[in-house]
Structure formats: structure tokens, C-alpha cells
Amino acid sequence: MSKMWGGRFEGGLDPYFEEFNRSTDFDCELAHFDLLVNAAWAAALGHAGVLEADEVERICAALETLREQWSEEGLLISDTTEDIHSFIEQQLTELVGDLARKLHTGRSRNDQVATDLRLYLFERVAMIMNEARDLIASLLEVAEQHSATPLPGYTHLQRAQPITVGHHALAYVEMFGRDLSRFTDLWERADYCPLGSAALAGTAFPIDRDALAESLEFTQGATRNSLDAVSDRDHVCEALFCCSMVMIHLSRLAEDYIFFASHEARFLEFSDLVATGSSLMPQKKNPDAMELIRGKTGRVAGSLQAILMTLKGLPLAYNKDLQEDKEGLFDGLQQTESCLIVAATAVRSTTWHEERCREACEHGYLNATDLADFCVRNGMPFRDAHEAVGAAVRRALELGVELHDMSDEELTSLFPALDLAVMRDALAVEGVLARRDVLGGTAPSRVAEECARWRAEVESWKV
């Protein structure tokens, strides 16, 4: 087919460059959105007196025919077509003849693709947000079931203090909740319609751009500067940043679960739904689902870096560099959505070994801080208490026992002024957890409160 821009040129393109220049391999993702944009533009041209009413009707009917055809047969694009926009114009020409040549009046592929991309982004972001909510619901189920199940908490990957499985799950609920809010913020900033900005200076025809924006369901109206509108890719950067943060959180969750499932920890076991075996070692059960999530994180974050570097130093307005905005965005959105789905399956189907978790909390001196706090409550300055408990840990290490397993004689020699019976109660795992009864703490009662708060939030999503 002839090029949309071919009038000024005499010769053909170098075949290698022509292939290099093509974008239909990836911008075909925008095909159905381009149909919507074409229909809205046809109507706007009709209101502006550029097209007759019957011409608008014929164009819109032809666009609907294409939509139905693609839904039934798929999208078959010639390998010589430059981009999805020229392909659709070609298809329209076959259906309505020269009338199709009027449709591009007053607009450019610059504002056309900018509008397509925002509509595509909104749909994909909505899908990602739904999957994030599902993962939150899965984590919340874990938190509700295990609000009082002890679990070693770690700093520097060393056992630190007891927490609960529920508290751990709610930490990730908070992370993914923030991710949802970031996507919401992105949506609000991107919810302006670029169509009518033309190539860079704005359309020369009397288009009601606010009405056009409303017809495409942009809630914030039309963009306010045509130069910015056609060259703006902030929403692409923000979307990939939001996806990168989701993936970072997923990767941290994956790392925790991979460690928790190790033979050294044995706190949980993945179901057969999300684990695979070894082709050599029959005993292996590998956490491949979580490892793949962890591995794909760099891929999504890399797409963010790519678009940032593409935009760096670009002059106004449109430059062909911006063709590079799509592949990374499409892949980043797809990978993020897929990882959320897999993570929710993994979380929902995982079995927690409660006795093993509790047992682990009783080894590694996780109650040392509570012994220091007990000393403080009995009148000792904290720094003195810290030093005294440090000496007690050193002595326990020499004896090869835990603090709560030391003999009365040893404890009396270390803490002569303290009531040993009350001290031992203070060192029990249940007591250690219960004392963290502050907002945001790991006490089972606080975990249950947070579960109830998040349960109300999750239920509100179903309305």
C-alpha cells in the first residue's frame, strides 16, 4: 500500500530500513483502541461540519465491522504495513472507498497514538489492580488464619524477635495496598485526552475537544498544551515505575517464601500447583514460581530504565524515538499482571507448618530484648539492662542453652534481684508476642484488628 506520508517522496525505502521502521509487530496491541479513537474522531469531524452525517455513519459502521471481524478471525496484518494506523486506514478504504481518506483530516498519528496508548494503559492498569486486590485478599486469608501463629522475625537475615505469620502477611498487604494507591494516582494524572493536538500545534478544525474527551471516557477533559500532549510519556514512565514497585514487593515476598520453604527453615511448603522437581534429583521440590517472579523483576525494572533513557534529552515535540515507548510498556504490564496471578496462587495454596514456626521462635535468643525490657520494668536503666542481658546470652552460648532454659542458679547469679518465676513467664513466646500490643505491633490482638480493617477494605472492592 502507499504510505500515509508518501506524497513528497519519489523512491522507495531501503528494504532493511523499511523493516527496521515498522511497528506493527507490537503496536497491533493498540488495534481495538485505535478503532475507538477513529470512531470518536469521525463523530467529532461530523460535529465540526467536516464530514456529513451519513459519512460519519458509514465510517463508524465500517469500524464496527472490523471490530467484529477481528474478534472472530483475529488480526491479520500484512508484513509490509508500516503501523497499525495505516493498516486500519487501508482496511477502511476497502470497506468505504475514498471516504476513508477523509478520516485523518485535522489530526496526526502523533495525537492518535498518544490517545490509543492512554486507553490501552487504562485497561491494562485496571486488570493489574484487580490482580493486586486478589493477592491482597490471599495474603489477608493467611493473616486471618495465622494471626497468632509465632514466626521468627529477622534483621540482617539473623533471627531477631518473634512475630506472627499474620503480621508477616499483613506487611505485604500494606505494600501492595500502596501499589494500588500509586496506580490510582497515575490514572488521575493520565486521564486527559490528547486527541485534537494534531502533530504538535493543535488541530486547525473547530473540534470540541472536551466533548471528544468525554466521548472516549476521559474524565479530566482534554490536554491543555498540544506540544506537551503529543510528546508526553510521563504516564508510561509512571506505569512502569508502579509495575516496578509491584515487582520489587513481589520479589521480596518471593525471597521470604523461598527461604521459609528451605530445609533449613521449613516454615512452609509450596503446593504442587506452583513447584517443580529436578530431572536428576528425585527428592527435590523447587520453588520455581517464586524464583521466576524474582527473576522477572529485573526485566520490568529494566523497561522503566529504557523509557527514561529514551526520553532524556528529547526535544519537543514528537520524535521517532517515542516508538520505543511501547514494547517495554506492553511487556512490563503483562509480566506484572502474570506475576501477581502466580503469586496469589502460591500464597493461597501454601501450607504453613505451625509447630515448626513456633519451635523456631524458641531458639536463637529471640526473647533477649524482652529480658532486657523485664529488667527495665524492674528499675534497671536500659543500657545497663542491655549489657546484663548480653552477658547472659554469652553465658547461655557457653552452656549451649537458651535463656529460658538456663538453670535457676545461673539466672540468679546473673539477675539476683529479679523474680525468676515472673521472668520465665515474660520470656515465653506467647508473652513476647502479647506485649507488642501497640498500633502496628505484632500482638495477635493487633493483628486481628488489622485483619478486620483490611477485610472491610477488601469487601468494599466487591461492591
Grid coordinates in use for 60? 463508524
Query: Where does 93-240 show beta strands of DSSP type E?
Result: 150-155, 158-164
Per-position b or e across 432-457, b if 16+ CB within 10 A of its CB: bbbebeeeebbbbebbbebbeebeeb
As given in the structure block, the three cell numbers for residue 216 are: 472516549
- Yes or no: say if 324 and 236 are a contact pair by the CB < 8 Å rule: no
Q: Give the catalytic positions in this structure.
A: 156, 278
β partners of residue 269: 351
For cell 513481589, what's the residue?
250
Q: Which amino acid is at 235?
A: H
DSSP 7: G
Q: How many CB atoms lie within 10 A of CB 382?
A: 11
Query: Rounded to an integer, what distance in angstroms lies between the CA atom of residue 148 and that of residue 179?
Result: 27
Three-state DSSP state, 151: strand
Q: What is the DSSP letter of 50?
A: S
- Length of the chain, please? 463
d(CA 161, CA 431): 12
